[in-house]
Amino acid sequence: MKINHLAVVVHSVEDALLFWRDALGLPFNGIEEVPEEAVKVGFLDANGVHIELLEPTTDDSGVAKFLDKRGPGMHHLCLEVDDLEHAMASLKANGMQLIYEEPRVRDNGRRYTFVHPKSTGGVMIELYEADEA
């Protein structure tokens, strides 16, 4: 199991890049608009772990509400798993609360779910299947 990415919610990707890209000097892999999640994402890399800076592009998305309620900061940590069903079964057997009880599928075919922060000690965790099903 490895960390795929850390997602950080920010007011402005451009402003946050002044730290992550310019001052810290992390490799920068561009900005993408993701309309279906209503975010603009800045991608950086720290030795194989991606850092994603998420800026909401509407006022009513999940990310926008997170920013309103909690302010900027860590949104979730994404871990790659080999077998999502196996991981989900282990979590359920241990009484952990999943946000999606069944795997969801992204446009690129990758399957994922999220574990509720209540079950993890306050950090939302994305589980992401490393190989396509």
- The residues of the shown chain that bind a second copy, judged by CB under 8 A, are 1-3, 6, 8-11, 15-16, 18-20, 22-26, 46-49, 53, 71-74, 77, 79, 87, 90-91, 93-96, 115, 117, 119-123, 125
DSSP letter (8 states) at residue 36: G
Q: For residues 1 and 9, give the distance between their C-alpha atoms in angstroms, rounded to a whole number.
A: 24
* Shorter beta-carbon distance to a second copy: residue 42 or 107: 42
Taking only Cα atoms into account, the Rg of the chain, rounded to an integer number of angstroms, comes to 15
DSSP letter (8 states) at residue 101: S
Q: How far is the CB of 16 from a second copy (least distance, A)?
A: 4
Q: For residues 27 and 71, give the distance between their C-alpha atoms in angstroms, rounded to a whole number.
A: 26
* Shorter beta-carbon distance to a second copy: residue 65 or 109: 65
* Shorter beta-carbon distance to a second copy: residue 84 or 109: 84
Q: How far is the CB of 106 from a second copy (least distance, A)?
A: 21
How would you classify the pairing of strands 49-56 and 39-46? antiparallel
